[in-house]
Amino acid sequence: MLNIIFNYLIFPGFLFSVCIGLIAGWFDRKVTARLQWRKGPPWYQNFADILKLLGKETILPSSAKLTFLLAPCLGLASLVLVATILGRNIISPSQGFSGDLVVVLYLLVIPAISLILGASASRNPLASVGASREMKLILAYELPFILSIIAIIIKSGGAIQFGTILNHQALFGSNIFSWSGLIAFLVSVLCIQAKLGFVPFDVSEAEQEIMGGVLIEYSGLPLAIFKLIKAMLLYTLPVLLIILFLGQNLTMLSVIGKFIALLIVIILIKNTSPRLRIDQSLRFFWRIPTLLAILAVILGYFGL
Amino acid sequence: MDFKLSALTKSIWVFHVSAGSCNNCDIEILDLLTPRHDVERFGIQLVGSVRHADALLITGAMNKKAVVRMKKIYEQAPKPCVVVAVGQCALSRHLFRYSYNVEEPLDKILPVDLYIPGCPPKPEAMIDGIVKLVNKLKSKK
């Protein structure tokens, strides 16, 4: 019992993933700054942001105060659970339970749902525009994302457990080095971009047009929790990709190297593309990535 | 040294309000974010919503219509929030001081913490002003 609480709150769970996530967030800002020939913020910048937000006044809307406050906590709690499951699986792959992949897939949708809940509770018209865009974006990216994961499940013999998928990769090499795995990896990198709310698909909080969108009414503590959610997504999603696609060699050093490489890919996509409108992103996700993911499923079925 | 205050001075999120300015000060403010002056080094960011703001950067002479909006915006900002008047217009109404629709200067309406003179002020002057403000906040506590 004590072990579970320790796992959830400290080591692979809350504290660890938040620290790594905030540092990954700083890495994102720094690389972005270097790409724009700027110097960029110091390494503790995101920690200072969070600390500052904790000390600010929290302004509540006159209606739906409870939903407004509970929505970010819901998202954070589910993400901490994801981080714990993924972290435990990397440390000892045999300790997972059957079906933890499905659990993680469900839990990864909850942060987006908490954004929608909070934005709707704030009763701001711009926030509701952002919430509706976020909703459509979920519909857009979940289909190719789940299809690409189904390709991996088929490749590892119908296993819906991280441990079995990791074992399969330890025996037969990383999934990314097969055709179906490569295609599924490319598709899921694009989907992760949308899950993180990074630039080609950041319509839901477009700062220039709807001024922060879903986050517009948030201040103080709940805003800090949403910032933590963003930071933890930047940790959990690349780790999920590492487990699913690059899981052959899981020593400490190689995990860190793969994590940084994935981060750089994500940041480069973020910095080199313009924002897509919501209809464009929906059309994009339902055409090319979905077709590619179906192709990956078929190739995986034939064992390629 | 206060813990919250030191975090606040290391990450100032700025909301930019134009109260009827001629756009010159606004362009100079945007210059702060360019590679030459890069204020993100100090953790200063422009934000889209007043609810996230730690500092209101107000430019322009306050005409009658803007005064009402400006008071509303100030009330919407979460408090500890500083008000920075940028440019000669926001300081003293400049060449609009005898105008029929500009009745009061900014500091009669909102509590201004920092004045940055100039028409428009140089980006260096703004960075200097922010450094002085941070020092003032630190010495107050």
d(CA A82, CA A12): 10
- Which of helix, strand or coil describes residue B64? helix
Would you state the pLDDT for residue A157?
Answer: 81
- Compare all CA atoms of chain B with the CA of A54 and give the residue at the minimum distance: B4
Structure tokens at B43: 């953790």
In a domain, B1, yes or no: no
A190 CB-contact burial (10 Å; exposed 0-12 / middle 13-18 / buried 19+): buried
**What is residue A216's DSSP assignment?**
T
State the CATH number of the domain containing residue B107: 3.40.50.12280
A63 CB-contact burial (10 Å; exposed 0-12 / middle 13-18 / buried 19+): exposed
Contact of B2 with chain A, judged by CB distance below 8 Å, is answered with: no
Please give the C-alpha separations between residue A2 and each of A9, A64, A93, A133, A236, in angstroms, as whole numbers: 11, 36, 21, 41, 23
Contacts of B79 in chain A (CB under 8 A): 56-57
B32 CB-contact burial (10 Å; exposed 0-12 / middle 13-18 / buried 19+): buried
DSSP A233-262: HHHHHHHHHHHHHS-S---HHHHHHHHHHH
Structure tokens at A197: 């709310």
| Buried/exposed A159-180: b ≥16 CB within 10 Å, e otherwise | bbbbbbbbbbbeeeebbbebeb
Q: Are A235 and A24 in contact (CB under 8 A)?
A: yes
Sheet of strand B82-86: strand arrangement? B45-46, B13-18, B55-59, B82-86, B114-116
Q: How far is CA A229 from the centre of its chain?
A: 9
- Which of helix, strand or coil describes residue B80? coil
In a domain, B86, yes or no: yes
Contacts of B10 in chain A (CB under 8 A): 44-45, 48, 52
Which among A42, A44, A55 has CB closest to B4?
A55
Contacts of A56 in chain B (CB under 8 A): 54, 78-80
Longest dimension (CA), chain A: 58
Among the listed residues A217, A187, A231, A155, the one whose alpha carbon sits nearest the alpha carbon of residue B49:
A217
In a domain, B2, yes or no: no
In a domain, B3, yes or no: no
Q: Which residues pair with B55 in a beta bridge?
A: B14, B82
d(CA B69, CA B77): 13
Q: Are B106 and B85 in contact (CB under 8 A)?
A: yes
Would you state the pLDDT for residue A237?
Answer: 92
What radius of gyration do chain A's Cα atoms show?
19
In a domain, B6, yes or no: no
Best B40, B72, B79, B81 member to test A by mutation, with max A CBs in 10 Å, is B40
In a domain, B32, yes or no: yes
In a domain, B130, yes or no: yes
- Compare all CA atoms of chain A with the CA of B38 and give the residue at the minimum distance: A38
Range of the domain at B89: 11-140
HSE on the CB side for B83, CA within 13 Å? 20
Which among A41, A52, A59 has CB closest to B41?
A41
Instruction: Report how many domains make up chain A.
Output: 1
Which among A40, A51, A218 has CB closest to B7?
A51
Contact of A221 with chain B, judged by CB distance below 8 Å, is answered with: no
d(CA B76, CA B110): 13
Q: Are A64 and A130 in contact (CB under 8 A)?
A: no
Range of the domain at A92: 2-301
HSE on the CB side for A196, CA within 13 Å? 26
Q: What is the pTM of this model?
A: 0.89
Contact of B72 with chain A, judged by CB distance below 8 Å, is answered with: no
Structure tokens at A57: 């006044």
Would you state the pLDDT for residue B1?
Answer: 54
- Which of helix, strand or coil describes residue A224? helix
Strands (E), chain A: none
Strands (E), chain B: 13-18, 45-46, 55-59, 82-86, 114-116
Which among A41, A49, A218 has CB closest to B51?
A218
Instruction: Report how many domains make up chain B.
Output: 1
What ipTM does the predicted assembly reach?
A: 0.85
Per-residue pLDDT tens, chain B, 141 aa: give them: 577 777 777 888 888 888 888 888 888 888 888 888 888 888 888 888 888 888 888 888 888 888 888 889 998 888 888 899 988 888 888 888 888 888 888 888 888 888 998 888 999 998 898 888 888 888 875
Would you state the pLDDT for residue B118?
Answer: 87
**Interchain proximity B78–A33, CB inside 8 Å:** no
CB within 8 Å of B116: residues ≥ 6 apart: B84, B85, B86, B87, B125, B126, B129
Give the pLDDT means over successive 10-residue stretches in chain A (304 positions): 79 86 92 89 89 85 83 91 88 81 91 89 85 89 91 85 85 83 90 86 72 79 90 91 85 89 91 87 90 90 81
Contact of B52 with chain A, judged by CB distance below 8 Å, is answered with: yes
